Each structure stands twice: as C-alpha cells, then as structure tokens.
Structure 1
Amino acid sequence: MASSTFQKTLLFFILAPSFMMAQYTDVINSNRPGRAVSAYAVGKNVVQAEVGLFYEQQDNSDLNFDSSIIGSDIALRYGFFFEQLEIVYEGSFVTQSLSYSNLNPDETRTDFTRNRIGAKYLIFDPFKNPENNKPNLYSWRANNVFQWKNLIPAVSLYGGATFTLGDNPFYVGDPNISYRGAVATQSRLSPRFVLISNIAYDRIGTDFPEWSYAISVTHAFRNPKWSVFFENQGIKSDRYSDILVRTGLAYLFNENFQVDFHLGSNFKNSPSRMFAVGGLSYRLDFHKDELVPIDRQSPSQKPKIKKKSFKKKRKKNKKKKKDSLDF
C-alpha cells in the first residue's frame, strides 16, 4: 500500500504521461507555481481552481518612481467532452501604489492586468500508447537515466480572448476584446524531471501585440510530496519587454490539494522587479473511467490466450477422459 501511494504521488510531479488516459491523473495536475502551462488538460469532468496572492516591488530609474503591487491570480479549469480538452479562465487583479521622486503626485492604479478565457486541446501525446512507455524489467538504470526518446514532447494548442473592461489604467487605448494563441509542449526528461515550454502571441488586434515564451523545469524530490521548479520567461512588445526568472517549491497535501511558493525577479532597471507569490490548487474530481468496447481495443488491451496453456489444458482433459474410460 505504501509503495502504491508513493507511485501515485510521484505522478503529480511528472504529470503522469505514462497513463493510457494521459489527461486524467489520480493526483491533481496543476499549472502552479510559475507561468508555464502544462500541455495536458485536467481530465474530463474535473473542475479545478488555482489561486495565488503576490507582492511585487518595482523601481523605475527612467521614470523616477518606485511602486508596490499587491494582487491575486486565479485560474479556473474544466475538462469536458474529451480527455484532451479543457476550458480555462485566467485573471490577475492588482493594486499598484506609485511614488514619484519628482513633483508628480503619488498615484494608485487598480484593475485587471490579465482577464482572459480560452480553450486548450492536446493534439499529440507520445505516451498515449502504453507500449511506448513500458519499463525495462531487467535494468533499473535504463528506467532512471535520460533517454533521447523522452525529448519528444506532448503538444497542445491554445486559443482565447482577452477582455479589457472600462478604462483600464494598465492598457490605455486597448479595445475591449483582443485575442491570444499559444503552443504548449511537455517532455519527461527522466522519472523526476519534466520540461515544459510555451510560446504565445497575445493581445492580437491591439496597437501593442505581445510575444512571450516560458521554459520551466520541475524536479521531484525523493519525498515525492515536494518538488522544486526553475523558470525563465521572456516578453516582447512595443509597450513592455522583459526577461524574468522564477524558482520555488510545491507541496502536495493530498491527491486534490497542493500549495506552492516562489520568488522571482528580472534583469533590468526600467523597471526593476522583485516579487514573491504564494498559492494553492484544489480540484473537484467527478471523473469516471470510460469502458472501451472490445472491438475498439488496441492489441495491448485485449486479453490474450496463451497457446501453451491451451495445449496443456487439452492434454489434461484427454487424460481425464482416458482415465474415466479405463475405470
């Protein structure tokens, strides 16, 4: 029982691509901590909330101000119709207090910096066929070292819309609706390391469209309830460009509840940024396994009749029949 619990918990950190139904896992599959998004969905009929609180300090030497930001992040995810599909709402609501070193008066801004809804669909999963991920029963090393085939990633596509409501001080002049497209990939480098990468084109239809990328590596400790991540994110637009790094920890309380904490900063001074984020993820699991009709099962799913066992059974029946005739 302890061994089974250990294995199920470990799958939380490697996001369980070895399951035949690659979307649903026995433990929560969260995109927290960080900004990089998994290629996998939460699973059909799973409702999941991912919430965070953060504090950020900014100093801008070019514009002669410093500011403090307090805010919250939320993501609501729901898997429906297919194991590969989920819809997701993502929001960030912040209050920024600015103090200027010149004669300008202090200022406070409050509004959404992120307010979007979209859908993500897994288009390719290298682990969909369990035959491609069978363990080597004769070599521990073969199951625990890097293999080139592990670089082949799962790939998903995302499409969504960003909503700018009213006079948003963070996005002055933007239309009420703009659009976002993204690609997310995920590779399992080893049983304890996972690589996730995202590339996105955001605020399509505005005067300041934005390119961004995120690369994240997650490592599960020997105590599989704990994991650590390192992330690099880049943003490029005419309004704002930056490169950020993040690192932090996640802890799994049970199969439906995770907490996390991370720190981050950038490398420029217009503005310089340092932030701390704490959060949690919780899911309501209404998932039910679907039975696959035997005529649609793959060869690996169908029960196999062993010829040797069948021959032995026939010989045994013949012997019994002969003994009864002799009697």
Structure 2
Amino acid sequence: MKSLQTLLVLGLLSSFQLTNAQFTDDINSNRPGRSMMAFSVGKSVFQTETGINYVNENHNTLDYKASGFMAEFDLRWGLFFEQLELIGEFQYQNDSYTSDIIDKNRSALKKTLFGAKYLVYDPFKNYEEKPNLYSWKANHRFKWRQMIPAVAVYGGVNLNFSDNPFNFAPVDIEEPKISPKAMLIAQNHFGSRWVLVTNIAYNKIGTDFASIDYILTLTRGFNKQWSGFIENQGFMGDYYSDGVFRMGAAYLFNKDMQIDASIGKNLKGTPNLFTGGIGFSWRFTKNYKEVKIEKDNGSKMDKKMKKKGEKEAKKRKDAVEE
C-alpha cells in the first residue's frame, strides 16, 4: 500500500542530490488497493503481494447468483535499473453459480498478466526544499509543487489459455489468447501523510474485449504502522462498464511484511458485486545494494553567501594580524 513509511522516506530523499533509488526502508506494497504506484520496489528486490477474497455476485436482469472466493497473487521484481520493475499478476476465482435453469461450479484463472513498468519522471529528483527559518506560515502553506506527480508507463500482455466464465461476454464470443495492455501512472504526495495514485489504462487492445479503465486511490498514513485508503475503479468497455468503490487498511508488521484488509462494492445491479478480503505482502531484499546518496552542496545563493562569509572572516583575521 502507498503507506506513511513511503511518504516519509521519499520526503527525506527529496533533501538529497541523488534520488534515483526506488528502494524504501519499509515495504512499499500496492495492496490492498488495485492501483499500481509509479515507484518500483528497487533494483534486485523481489516482492510478493497476495490476497484471498470473498466474492458475491447477483444479476437483477438475468436472475442469477454466484458466491465463492478469489485468490490474488502478484510478483514484483526490480531488474536492471532502479526505475524498472517486472510484474506478474494472477487471479483465480472459484464460485457456485445458481439460476432458474443452471446450478454449477465455476473456476478459472480470471487474470494472467505479465508486464513491465518504468518510472519516467520523478519530481523528487535533484530537488531540495529548505525550511524558512523566519516564517512558520511559509513552511506550512500549500505547496503547488505537490501537484506535480511522479509519472511511470506500463506495458503488458494478457494471457488466456482456458475458457474464462467470468468475462461477461456472450457465450459465442471467444476471448483471445493474447492481448496487450498499456497504462499511464501518476503519483502525487500531499504533505507527509497523503498519497494519490492515478492509473489510466487501455486493456485488451485490438479485441472485442477492449476497455478503457481508470483507478483513483487516495491513501493516508495514520502512524508508523497503520494506513488506510479509499478507491474508485472504473471500466468502460462494450461488454462491461461499471464503477467500483473500495476502502480498507494496512498494518506494517515489520519493515518487509505487511498485512491488509478491504471491502468493495460496485454501482450497478447487472451484476451487483460485493468483495471482502485480507492480504499479505512480503519482500526479499538480500540482494539489494544500497545506492549511495550524496548530500546536496546547496543552492547558488547558499554558495555565494558562504563564499562571502569566508572572505569577511579572512579580512578580520588579516586585520588582527596587522
């Protein structure tokens, strides 16, 4: 989850000259929300994010009901560069489907997606915000720079090698085996406690199942261990369009482990969806090599004032010696 720990670490990094490192002191998980954050886990870091959810579905028009569970398993691996991350996403659903004429069990890999994300712009890089020693108001006023987000791009491939009963398409429409996905990711940090992540995606490009999707996730850190989120996800496709709202919380168990819980509800009744689940995130950092961070030497004005001070000190020393 986009937790308080991430905010604090990134805030500290903004006071240094070199901020290419994506690695944070505490685990930085996308869970329990569904959005993907702009920053990666860090070069050579391996991270897993898993969850189990109760799923309840009923359709007002087709008059059916379904309930069961959905398992989620995401793999994140920082590779080659600090800004690059490889990602594997898997969803498996198993439920009991009941209508007036059918009573059956459904099970399938609902989603198999492999992709890569790359951070193209980091507003914290080479930026130092110095406190105003003479004005409390200046230090606490709204800073327009917060409106500038970190930006990443994502490209991936959906794989479907089995019949998928969860795609909402007519039975005579077959889902393609391979389809691409592209996404733009933006991440804003408002102060030390709030993070807004925006995902805009074009999924299953060039197929009958193509859709334009978005996710907006707002996260707040309450203290060093606890954080909460609210989220809105939208789907706009030919076979399925909907809006889903979620909320939940995450607890930092230790610097490499996080547990979470969330619930979600959609807007429409065709079908009506409810989900509730728990999750666990863990990262492996043994192979990570810390990126050396060098402190900034200061602004041009600081250097000028320092040089002026050194000259004045030299003049006083020369006057005393004379």
Cα contact 1:14–1:188 (8 A) shared by 2: no
C-alpha displacement of 1:225: 1.2
Determine the structure 2 residue equivalent to 1:12. 6
Give the Cα–Cα distance (whole angstroms) in 1 for the partners of residues 192 and 32 of structure 2.
20
Task: Output the CA distance in 2 between the equivalents of 1:15 and 1:272.
Answer: 40
- Displacement after TM superposition at 1:138 (Å): 4.7
Q: Which has the higher contact order (CA 8 A, sep 6+)?
A: 2
Could you tell me which residue of structure 2 aligns to residue 6 of structure 1? none
Structure 1 position 174 matched with structure 2 position 171 = no
Q: Highest CA radius of gyration, 1 or 2?
A: 1
Residues of 2 paired with 1:47 and 1:236: CA distance? 33
Counterpart code for 2:238: D
Aligned to 2:125: 128
Taking structure 2 as the reference length, what is the TM-score of the superposition? 0.85
Stretches of structure 1 that go unaligned for 5 or more consecutive residues are 1-8, 323-327
How many pairs does the alignment contain?
Answer: 306
Residue pair 2:7, 2:192 contacting (<8 A) in 1 also? no
Q: Distance in 2 between matches of 1:35 and 1:158?
A: 15
Output aligned runs, 1:1-327, within 5 Å. Answer: 10-13=4-7, 16=10, 18-19=12-13, 20-100=19-99, 102=100, 104-131=101-128, 133-139=129-135, 142-171=138-167, 173-221=174-222, 223-285=223-285, 286-291=287-292, 300=298, 307=307, 308=309
SS in structure 1 at match of 2:10: coil
Task: State whether residues 13 and 224 of structure 1, in contact with CA within 8 Å, keep that contact through their aligned partners in structure 2.
Answer: no
Question: Do the aligned residues in 1 keep the contact of 2:108 with 2:162 (CA within 8 Å)?
Answer: no
Instruction: Return closer, same or farther for 1:158/1:310 CA change in 2, 3 Å cut-off.
Output: same
- CA deviation vs aligned residue, 1:150-172 (integer Å, no higher than 9, x gap): 01111100001000012233346
Percent identity reads 40
- Confirm or deny: 8 A CA contact 1:232 1:243 kept in the other structure: yes
The Cα shift of 1:314 comes to 10
CA distance in 1, matches of 2:135, 2:91: 47
Q: Which amino acid aligns with 1:11?
A: Q
Query: Do the aligned partners of residues 142 and 38 (structure 1) sit closer, same or farther apart at CA in structure 2, a change above 3 Å counting?
Result: farther
CA contact (8 A) 1:126 1:154 kept: yes
The answer to whether the Cα contact below 8 Å between 2:21 and 2:291 also exists between their aligned partners in 1 is: no
2-structure distance, mates of 1:178, 1:193: 35
Inter-partner Cα distance in structure 1 for 2:145 and 2:186: 15
After superposition, the CA RMSD in angstroms is 2.9
SS at match of 2:55: strand
Asked whether the equivalents of residues 94 and 107 of structure 2 are also in contact (C-alpha less than 8 Å), the reply is yes
- CA-CA distance at 1:22 after TM superposition: 4.8
Distance 2:55 2:7 in 1: 27
Change (3 A) 1:139 1:264: farther
Contact kept? 1:60, 1:270, Cα under 8 Å: yes
